[in-house]
Structure 1
Amino acid sequence: MFSFQHNQVENNMKKLPLYACLLNLSLLVLLPYSKASQAGKLNELIMSRRSQNPPVTLPWAEEEALKSHSSAYVAPQKGLSQADKILTLPGQPYGVNFDQYSGYVTVDPVAGRELFYYFVESPYNPSTKPLVLWLNGGPGCSSLGYGAFEELGPFRINSDGKTLYRNKYAWNEVANVLFLESPAGVGFSYSNTTSDYETRGDNSTAKDSYVFLINWLERFPQYKTHDFYITGESYAGHYVPQLAYTILVNNKIGHQSINLKGIAIGNALIDEATGSKGMADYLWTHALSSDETHELIEKYCDFASENITAACDNATEMAAIERGNLDFYNIYAPLCHDPSLKNGSTGSVYDFDPCSDYYGEAYFNRPEVQLALHAKPTNWTHCGTNSNISMKWNDSPTTILPAIKYLIGSDIGLWIYSGDTDAAVPVTSSRYAINTLKLPIQVPWRAWYSGNEVGGFVVKYKGVTFATVRGAGHEVPSWQPARALTLIFSFLNGSLPPASPGKGF
């Protein structure tokens, strides 16, 4: 199996940027042992790039170009929120003290394009809490399956694939949280026009997410005046800034106003050139590659170039071989060795189960669960709805830094955070990307605390706050839920996380 995959990769590698080579070789070892669907999506995107030089500017650089899309579809929504209210989720624990909703919002009635959402209100004075949108990346992976039920939502799924247990560090402790499965073809979201699945990309995803949002706010008008934040991870490093840009431009030119206050992106794909260097340096500094291999990468690999030499190719291949069989998305985490469902086992929020994907797939394919969620009967998977829908992505810039610069100039809050055990989009890549902006430091690097432990480290630049989360992998709230909650609470409050022990969650 390894030799077959290796030959395929070697044939494709000459056409790929260095970031793709490093990630692709890493997946040779990862795929048989871990969450292949999520791990493979970012790599699949990079391999499918339509040109050697994807655009590096904003997808909608001119406001005039966006105006033609700004008369967005808005439908009557009266009464639909109550129809979307979830009475109870199958297997949910006793004592649920908050309201939850799910259903579809039409974003294109002609095409029959419907986006699925899951919304949980805070159990504590939801009328005074901010509204937070969460987006998972991929591209093409589910914010329901990952974000809501493996990371920051109020429930996680037991290993029986039938029952749920509470996450005491859910983000709805401090906010009302909205999870969106986007674009169409992800999770329960769908289109009646199959060609929609062939034309997906960054631009269409941002526009559909915007149309979803203005319609959702019509359905839940009480949230129109709430402070609004967008959060996400991984390829949502594209989704979140692009949606924020779309909102701000539409606000500026007088269309539906959304009270956007800030964005936060975790282990985010921001810039592929600095991402390549960051990944190579992370492997070496974390004792996953040898001095000799790192020296060869430094010597032969041009991180900013699209052209990969044979010498660079050989060095990156050796780096992947040297690190062995481990989870590239959390280098210190156990692998999933037994994905079978297990009756009578209760999960713990303090000990994330690496086989959780399998439990989620079993749960969301149960007919009673789909009925309770008001979902169309679907062959649900974490990334895409079924094998008949191909993964094509038609536009994806190699850098999102122009959008980041625009958002800095808009004066909204902008946080970038990084779980420090992720090697795929590592902390070094995030730091290198931020450093290219050459922003002045306002608050120097320091430790921050969650409870009595160091939760990570933080530095505040003019326009950007950067924070690490100690002991967290690619999906920060999965591995460090308390620290993630401390971090997001600070973000929503507009303050840096605690500088002394005994505070936070």
Structure 2
Amino acid sequence: MLGQRRKLILIAVMNLQQLFVMCLFLITLITTVSSLTQEQENDRITALPGQPAVEFSQFSGYVTVHKKHGRGLFYWLTEAVNPQDKPLVLWLNGGPGCSSIAYGASEEIGPFRIHKNASSLYLNKYSWNLEANILFLESPAGVGFSYTNTSTELRNSGDKRTARDALKFLKEWMTRFPQYKNRDFYISGESYAGHYVPQLAKKIHNYNKNHPGSFINLKGFIVGNAVTDNQYDNIGTVDYWWSHSIISDTAYKSIKSSCNFKSTKYTEKCDNAIDYAWNNEFGEIDQYSIYTPSCNKSSVNVTSTRLKNSLMRRRVSGYDPCIEKNAEKYFNRPEVQQAMHANNTGIAYKWTACSDELLENWKDSQFSMLPTYKKLIAAGYRIWVFSGDTDSVVPVTATRMSLSHLDLTVKTPWYPWYSKGQVAGWTEVYEGLTFATVRGAGHEVPLFQPKRAFLLFQRFLAGKNLPKS
């Protein structure tokens, strides 16, 4: 009888403890909600059409970065479940001219994937917002829902304005979301964001030195299959084509002897050598993922402009080679735009994954990012560069050749890293930079190898080397 009474008392105590924990949770939730400003509430996404139930908050909307010219950048914040305990990570896609919502958010690291019917969403179990608050930015103006009221700006955009506008966006956005002002902050991205990410990091670094009172707590950045240096990237790219049997010995020798990759302009002989290989030897492959099926003939529309000026355009890739079409259907739906507070200015063109107008009219492109890397390494930022090894557009050989010219001291020599008992790639740790390959991944690493990319991201945030076993 006495034992039964003790059991009843124990159950009662446990119930009280559970009630106490629940009350604390409700108090925290109420405090968090009540602390949101009206501007934040205006940007809150209640739910996207066809969205499964989630426990995290979402916000999206516009931040004006140039009032006179009418430039507004569109963002989408997918918070972590406990946002106050997690860092803030900005994600940028490249192109130049491609949407971070079409690719980063919808195919790679975001919490949702779009069903083929483009009417509903399903969860990505390797979403990066499990580890951080992820801020997707459509940049520069003219990409996706981001806009400019000065139409000529679509034909004279470039690296410098993009970096200036991104810094302006961050300052204004953190004024709207002051809870993130002093949060640990990282920048991430891929492809031509190999320019955007370090350029923005440098802008923030210089801004912090000159404005200590409005400090942005930048800790570092991580970029994948990143455009780094025109000369070394291009040499490494041609080497990849040859070493992976995409082009012949004859074409390889012709390109190497005809092209001066130190130059910003190539001769007609060089152009002809590249065009011959492209048109006669490549075949109908997905150049962003050479071992997976391509979408169809009409979708593979990459030209030798990529090699000539290192301006890349991602067309199709992934296990579903036509996956970007899902995004173009979904984000053009009026009810989706309404839920996301998007296109409220009535953009005169259809939402697309990439802007041809921006790509074809890019006005400035930094020839090499290596001097920027050197400055940021000297400043002590955490820098990781990763590379999917089945991408022929910004291949692993290009990235390795570019980074080798930083002449960094090796801390941890080259070794295989593991996930689920399998080699997930290879890595080498230098003084000031970590490089890693991701085995079996194309240009969009988190699309092809989501678990490996997620582990890579976890280790980056933790500042830990990739696992050796």
TM-score normalized by structure 2?
0.83
The 3-state SS of whatever aligns with 2:152 is: helix
Shift in CA distance, 238/326, structure 1 to aligned 2, threshold 3 Å: same
**Matches of 2:423 and 2:178, distance apart in 1:** 40
1:65-114: CA deviations, max 9, x gaps?
xxxxxxxxxxxx94211111100000112x31211111011112222221
Match of 1:99 in 2: 57
1:90 aligns with 2:52: no
Shift of 1:220: 1.2
Quick one: which of 374, 382, 385 aligns to 1:405? 374
Gaps of 5+ in 2: 1-35, 300-317
**Matches of 2:162 and 2:198, distance apart in 1:** 12
Number of residues of Structure 1 aligned to a counterpart in Structure 2: 410
Match of 1:383 in 2: 354
Match of 1:354 in 2: 321
Which one scores higher on RCO, CA 8 angstroms, separation ≥ 6? 1
1:128-154: CA deviations, max 9, x gaps?
111100000111110011110011100
Match of 2:341 in 1: 374
Shift of 1:295: 3.1
Match of 2:89 in 1: 132
Contact 1:121 1:177 in 2 (8 A): yes
For residues 97-176 of structure 1, what are the structure 2 equivalents within 5 Å? 97-123=55-81, 125-176=82-133
> What percentage of aligned pairs have identical amino acids?
52
1:200-246: CA deviations, max 9, x gaps?
21111111100110111111111112110000111101100110000
Shift of 1:297: 3.2
The 3-state SS of whatever aligns with 1:447 is: strand
Quick one: which of 173, 190, 194 aligns to 1:216? 173
Quick one: which of 490, 494, 502 aligns to 2:459? 490
TM-score normalized by structure 1?
0.78
For residues 237-316 of structure 1, what are the structure 2 equivalents within 5 Å? 237-254=194-211, 256-306=214-264, 308=266, 312-316=270-274
Quick one: which of 443, 446, 464 aligns to 2:412? 443
Shift of 1:339: 11
**Matches of 1:79 and 1:215, distance apart in 2:** 15
**Matches of 2:351 and 2:211, distance apart in 1:** 39
The 3-state SS of whatever aligns with 2:163 is: helix
Gaps of 5+ in 1: 1-76, 341-350, 501-505
- Could you tell me which amino acid in structure 2 is paired with residue 323 of structure 1? F
Match of 1:63 in 2: none
Compute the RMSD of aligned alpha carbons.
2.1
Quick one: which of 158, 179, 182 aligns to 1:201? 158
The 3-state SS of whatever aligns with 1:196 is: helix
1:392 aligns with 2:351: no
Match of 2:294 in 1: 335
Shift in CA distance, 110/323, structure 1 to aligned 2, threshold 3 Å: closer
Contact 1:113 1:191 in 2 (8 A): yes
Contact 1:197 1:390 in 2 (8 A): no
Larger radius of gyration: 2
**Matches of 2:341 and 2:269, distance apart in 1:** 54
- Could you tell me which amino acid in structure 2 is paired with residue 402 of structure 1? P
Shift of 1:293: 2.8
* 4+ residue runs over 6 A deviation: none
- Could you tell me which amino acid in structure 1 is paired with residue 260 of structure 2? D
Contact 1:80 1:219 in 2 (8 A): yes
